[in-house]
């Protein structure tokens, strides 16, 4: 069985931050000696603004951001786009619910330890 580690996550609108890059390094260290592990990069390209940063975090300048983005993409085994997932998630979740494969509790699906939630847009 493969171990999948989400080692990277950043908002596409601003690119990786300093903490994004530190998280990536930690993830790489966690899987370095595991032959069955793969790294996942999750890019939030769904939200068109990022109005917050964790305390102590900073964005990279444009050149550093472009280089960091390329590094993450080169090193990732899998890259997920939040915009692409958001496009198909409501239909997929509806199918799971319709077929009785999952239950919805307080707007959140829980399947094998994975929690998925969605907001119905009007």
For 39-51, what is each residue's pLDDT tens digit? 999 999 988 888 7
Q: Looking at per-residue confidence, does 47 or 71 come out higher?
A: 71
Q: How confident is the model at residue 68 (pLDDT cuts 50, 70, 90)?
A: very high
Q: What is the DSSP string of 5-63?
A: EEEEEEETTT--BHHHHHHHHHHHHHHTT-TTEEEEEEEE-S-S------TT--BPPHH
Are 34 and 3 in contact by the 8 Å Cβ rule? The answer is yes
- Both tokens of residue 14? 């601003």
Q: Looking at per-residue confidence, does 72 or 106 come out higher?
A: 72
| Angle at alpha carbon of residue 50, lines to 44 and 118, rounded to 5° | 50
Are 57 and 17 in contact by the 8 Å Cβ rule? The answer is yes
Residue-level pLDDT at 116: 61
Q: How confident is the model at residue 52 (pLDDT cuts 50, 70, 90)?
A: confident
């Amino acid at each position: 069985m493969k171990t999948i580690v989400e080692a990277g996550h950043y908002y596409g609108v601003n690119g990786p931050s300093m903490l994004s890059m530190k998280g990536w390094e930690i993830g790489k260290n966690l899987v370095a000696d595991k032959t069955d592990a793969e790294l996942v990069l999750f890019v939030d390209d769904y939200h068109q603004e990022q109005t917050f940063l964790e305390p102590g975090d900073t964005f990279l300048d444009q050149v550093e951001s472009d280089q960091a983005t390329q590094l993450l993409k080169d090193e990732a085994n899998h890259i997920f786009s939040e915009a692409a997932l958001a496009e198909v998630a409501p239909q997929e979740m509806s199918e799971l619910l319709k077929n009785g494969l999952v239950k919805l509790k307080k707007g959140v699906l829980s399947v094998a330890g994975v929690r998925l939630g969605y907001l119905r847009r009007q």
